[in-house]
Amino acid sequence: MLDYYAHRAYSVRSTMFQKQMITKREIESRKSLATKDRIPQKTGGIMKRVALYARVSTHNGQQDPEMQLTELREYAARRDLIVAGEYVDHVSGSKDSRPSLNRLMADAHSRKFDAVLVWKIDRWGRSLKHIVVSLADLDAYGVAFVSLRDNLDLSTPSGRLMMQLLGAMAEFERSLIQERVRAGLQNARAKGKILGRPLKGEKLSRTTEWRRRKAAENTPVEVTA
């Protein structure tokens, strides 16, 4: 009788152990399939598609976004990332709507890439509200955000905190610049200086006339045969 109950207890324990092993294998199999569906695979490791975003404030040739793009390309190459596209704007960071940025956000919504790389957070924007809203949109799309020089990754909690702090500092810095410019203009007006370009037919100062004359003398003259 005791042998019967001992055999039954052993059979129950064996059945429960087999069910646990099957459940663990099913969980691991589902996790593996989910990872394969989320991230494209390549031989020898995982491959991610990234978008590079660069911005300069002017389009006069004095500011070149190529410096930013070069470092971003090198970063992607070191980590075997595929560059799905490069987006470049020649617009002030205070503007929320920019041609290339708008195109990047549309492509992010379509999941054409898995992450966005920028050289620095102030290249993405200088308005704290715009930074927070746009990064929240990327997070909703399942797209990561990495700022190279700031060493920030939006996929981590500390990265999200530091991103907001840096955005606030960028907005504060821009406010200080605007305040200094307004103070300088007000001081110039108080001293009686006329601001802006001279009107047509207005008499120029001797210094301005001398500078224009020297510039004209240094201008090369085209010789035709």
Q: Which residues are catalytic?
A: 57
Let me know: does 166 contact 172? Beta carbons within 8 Å: no
Query: DSSP assignment of 58-106, as one string?
Result: --SSSS-THHHHHHHHHHHHHTT-EEEEEEEEES-TT-S--HHHHHHHH
User: What single-letter amino acid sits at 209?
Assistant: E
CB atoms within 10 A of CB 165: 13
Burial classification of residue 199, based on how many CB atoms lie within 10 Å of its CB (0-12 exposed, 13-18 middle, 19 or more buried): exposed
Helix or strand or coil: residue 10?
Answer: helix
User: Hunting for tokens 């020649």 — which residue is that?
Assistant: 90
